[in-house]
Structure 1
Amino acid sequence: MKTITTTEALADYCARAATFPYVTVDTEFLRERTYYSKLCLVQLAVPGDDDKEDAVLVDPLVEGLSLEPLYALFRDEGVVKVFHAARQDLEIFWVDAGVFPSPLFDTQVAAMVAGFGDQVGYETLVRKVCKASLDKSSRFTDWSRRPLTDAQKKYAIGDVTYLREIYEFLKAELDKSGREKWVKEELSVLTDPATYDISPREAWRRVKTRTNSGRFLAVVRELAAFREEFAQSRNIPRSRVYKDDALMELASTKPKDIAELGRSRLLLREARKGEIADGILAAVAAGLECPSSDLPEVESDGREKLQVNPALADLLRVLLKARCEEAGVAQKLVASAAELDLLAAGKKDVPAVKGWRAEVFGKDALRLCKGELALGVKGSSVRVIVI
C-alpha cells in the first residue's frame, strides 16, 4: 500500500479523488498527552481496486507536508466525504484548518437510521455488510511512532477500504427508504462549529457538582475557566493541570494563599507552585468576589419539579419500542428516557416530536398523551389503536 509523504503526491491523489463521486476518510490520532488531538495518520480511499493504489495512507508527521490539498477536496461539493463515527475526526480538521468536509456522510449515523442498532461499531458493520473480519491487534498502538509497522498499515487501510462497501450498501438502503434527509438532519450537529468550540467560561458545566449554591458554583466556574485556558495555551490535557476531584476540593476549601493551597490532599505537586498556583488563587478570589447578579445557575430541564405520569411514561416507552422496531431505527436515536418523562409530564417542546422523529414516533406520542391512541397486543406485536 502507498504512503503519501509529500504535498505534491497528496495533491495528485486528491485531484484524482475529485473525479469520483465519493472518498472514504479516517484518521489515527493521539490525545493522551495533549489538549488537542495530535493527527498521526490520514487514510483515504476512492472506489476501485486496492491494487491500483486507490487506497492510500497520508503521513502528516512528515516535515513539510501540507494538508491543504486534502482540505481543498473537503470543500469540493461534488465529492461525498464518507466517515464512520466522524465526530473526533471532524474536530481535528476544524481545529487545524477551520474546515468541515462537505458533503458529509457518516456510516454510524446512517446505520442507526437503517436499523443496525444504537451506535453500531465499524467492526460490526464490516462483519455484517462485508462478511469480513478486522485484525484488531494494532488498535491501541502508538500512531506517532515511526516507522509504522506493516500490521499498523494493514489495520489503518482497512478502516477506509471496507468503508466503501459499507457506504454503498447504506446509501442504497437510504435511497430505498427515502431516509437520507433523516441522516442529513443528524449530521447538521456534527458540522456546527459550536459542537467543537469550547469556551473556557462554560467549561464548569462539564464538572459534576452536588450543590446548586451560586457562590460555590462561581468558584467552580473560575477554576474550570483557568484550567481550560491554561491547558489550551500549553496544549496539555486538563488533568495535567488538576483533575475534577481536586477542582471540587479547591472550591470547597477556597484557599487564600500558598500555605492554604499546600494543604490540599488532591492537588498535583506541580500545581502547588508557580503559574498554576497563582492561577488557582486568583480564580478562587474571583469566584468569591463575583457579584450576586453574575452567580451561575445549574441549568435544569425541570424534571425534578415535573408531575410525571408514570403510567403514561411506561406507555410511551412501549410505543417508542414498537414504532422503532417497525421502522427499523435505533430507539436511542429517536428519543431519550428524559424526553419521554417530559412528554409524560405534559411538555411538548422536545426533539422527539420534531423533524423526522415526528414521522417515526413524535406524532403518535402526542396523540397518545392526548388520549387519542391506545396500545394493544396481538401475539408478540404491539398494536396502535385509534380511539
Structure 2
Amino acid sequence: MQIITTTEQLADFCDRAAQHPFVTVDTEFLRERTYYSKLCLLQIAYPGDGDETAAIVDPLAGEGFSLAPLYELFRNPDVVKVFHAARQDLEIFYVDAGIIPAPLFDTQVAGMVCGFGDQVSYETLVRKICKAEVDKSSRFTDWSQRPLSDAQLRYALADVTHLRAIYVYLSERLKRSDRESWVTEEMAVLQGPRHLPH
C-alpha cells in the first residue's frame, strides 16, 4: 500500500499518472466541526494492477506538504478525472485551490444513464460490475485521526481501485449506446458555478 506524505512523492506519482488516459479519485473528509469540509485523506489510482498504480495521499502529513502536483494533474486536459458522486469532492478542491478537475467523469451520473438507477451507490456498481463486495467496516471512521489502521487505509483505497473497472465498463457502454453526450452535458452542469460554494 502506497502512502504519500511528501510533495516529492506526490509529484512522482502524478507524473506517472499523467501518462495514462484516466485517474480515479476519492476523498475522505470531516464536515461536522467546520462550515466547509476538511480534506483528511485522498485516494487516487491510474490503470494497471501493481501496487504502484494506486496511492493514499495524506494531506495532514505536515506543514511542508503541498497538493500542487495533484492540482496540476487535475488541470491536465488529456487525463479524465473519474469520481463517484463527485459534488462534495469538487467542492473541497474548489475551496482549497479554486479549481475544478477537468475533464470529469462521474460514475454515479453515468450509472444512471446506463440504467443502474438514480443516485446509484458505489457499492451497487462494485457488486454489479466488478462482482465484488465493498467492506463497510470502516465507513464511520473519523478520518482526521492519526494513525489510521491498515484496515481503514485498505477500505479507503478500495474506493478508487474498483472505480477503474467501473469507469471502463460504463464508458464503453455509453459509447455503444451513443449516450456519451448525455453524460458530457451532466458533467458541464456539475462543474458549473451554481453547484460550487460562493
What's the counterpart of residue 193 of structure 1? Answer: 193
What's the counterpart of residue 155 of structure 1? Answer: 155
Determine if the alignment matches structure 1 residue 125 to structure 2 residue 119: no
Q: What is the CA deviation profile of residues 269-293 of structure 1, one whole-angstrom value per residue up to 9, with x for unaligned ones?
A: xxxxxxxxxxxxxxxxxxxxxxxxx
What's the counterpart of residue 146 of structure 1? Answer: 146
Shift of 1:188: 1.2
Point out where structure 1 has 5 or more consecutive residues left out of the alignment: 199-387
Where 2:95 maps in the other structure, the secondary structure is: helix
Q: What is the CA deviation profile of residues 308-335 of structure 1, one whole-angstrom value per residue up to 9, with x for unaligned ones?
A: xxxxxxxxxxxxxxxxxxxxxxxxxxxx
Shift of 1:164: 0.2
- Looking at structure 1, the residues matched to 191 and 50 of structure 2 have their Cα atoms a distance apart, in angstroms, of 30
Scaled by the length of structure 2, what TM-score is found?
Answer: 0.98
Length, aligned pairs only: 197
What's the counterpart of residue 72 of structure 2? Answer: 72
How do 1:203-282 and structure 2 match up within 5 A? Answer: none
- Looking at structure 2, the residues matched to 195 and 23 of structure 1 have their Cα atoms a distance apart, in angstroms, of 23
Shift of 1:165: 0.3
Letter aligned with residue 118 of structure 1: D
Determine if the alignment matches structure 1 residue 17 to structure 2 residue 36: no
Q: What is the CA deviation profile of residues 143-162 of structure 1, one whole-angstrom value per residue up to 9, with x for unaligned ones?
A: 00011101111100000000
Shift of 1:189: 1.7
Q: What is the CA deviation profile of residues 157-185 of structure 1, one whole-angstrom value per residue up to 9, with x for unaligned ones?
A: 00000000000000000010111110011
Aligned 8 A contact 2:41 2:58 in 1: yes
- Looking at structure 1, the residues matched to 125 and 37 of structure 2 have their Cα atoms a distance apart, in angstroms, of 26
- Looking at structure 1, the residues matched to 20 and 185 of structure 2 have their Cα atoms a distance apart, in angstroms, of 25
Q: Which has the higher strand share?
A: 2
Shift of 1:50: 3.5
Q: What is the CA deviation profile of residues 2-36 of structure 1, one whole-angstrom value per residue up to 9, with x for unaligned ones?
A: 10000011001001100000000000001011101
Point out where structure 2 has 5 or more consecutive residues left out of the alignment: none
Q: What is the CA deviation profile of residues 348-376 of structure 1, one whole-angstrom value per residue up to 9, with x for unaligned ones?
A: xxxxxxxxxxxxxxxxxxxxxxxxxxxxx
Where 2:138 maps in the other structure, the secondary structure is: coil
Where 1:49 maps in the other structure, the secondary structure is: coil
- Looking at structure 2, the residues matched to 120 and 183 of structure 1 have their Cα atoms a distance apart, in angstroms, of 15
Where 1:44 maps in the other structure, the secondary structure is: strand
- Looking at structure 2, the residues matched to 197 and 58 of structure 1 have their Cα atoms a distance apart, in angstroms, of 24
Letter aligned with residue 70 of structure 2: L
What's the counterpart of residue 62 of structure 1? Answer: 61
Shift of 1:195: 1.6
Where 1:165 maps in the other structure, the secondary structure is: helix
- Looking at structure 2, the residues matched to 9 and 150 of structure 1 have their Cα atoms a distance apart, in angstroms, of 20
What's the counterpart of residue 91 of structure 2? Answer: 91
Shift of 1:83: 0.3
What's the counterpart of residue 104 of structure 2? Answer: 104
- Looking at structure 1, the residues matched to 2 and 185 of structure 2 have their Cα atoms a distance apart, in angstroms, of 36
- Looking at structure 1, the residues matched to 103 and 197 of structure 2 have their Cα atoms a distance apart, in angstroms, of 21
Letter aligned with residue 55 of structure 1: A
Where does structure 1 differ by over 3 angstroms across 4 or more consecutive aligned residues?
none
Aligned 8 A contact 2:91 2:197 in 1: no
- Looking at structure 2, the residues matched to 50 and 156 of structure 1 have their Cα atoms a distance apart, in angstroms, of 17
User: What is the percentage of aligned positions where both structures have the same residue?
Assistant: 70
Q: Which has the higher helix share?
A: 1
- Looking at structure 2, the residues matched to 193 and 93 of structure 1 have their Cα atoms a distance apart, in angstroms, of 14
Q: What is the CA deviation profile of residues 242-300 of structure 1, one whole-angstrom value per residue up to 9, with x for unaligned ones?
A: xxxxxxxxxxxxxxxxxxxxxxxxxxxxxxxxxxxxxxxxxxxxxxxxxxxxxxxxxxx
Shift of 1:196: 1.5
What's the counterpart of residue 30 of structure 2? Answer: 30
Where 1:32 maps in the other structure, the secondary structure is: coil
Higher relative contact order (CA 8 A, sep 6+): 2
Determine if the alignment matches structure 1 residue 165 to structure 2 residue 168: no
- Looking at structure 1, the residues matched to 50 and 114 of structure 2 have their Cα atoms a distance apart, in angstroms, of 28
Shift of 1:192: 1.2
- Looking at structure 1, the residues matched to 133 and 197 of structure 2 have their Cα atoms a distance apart, in angstroms, of 36
Letter aligned with residue 60 of structure 1: P
How do 1:348-387 and structure 2 match up within 5 A? Answer: none
Letter aligned with residue 55 of structure 2: V
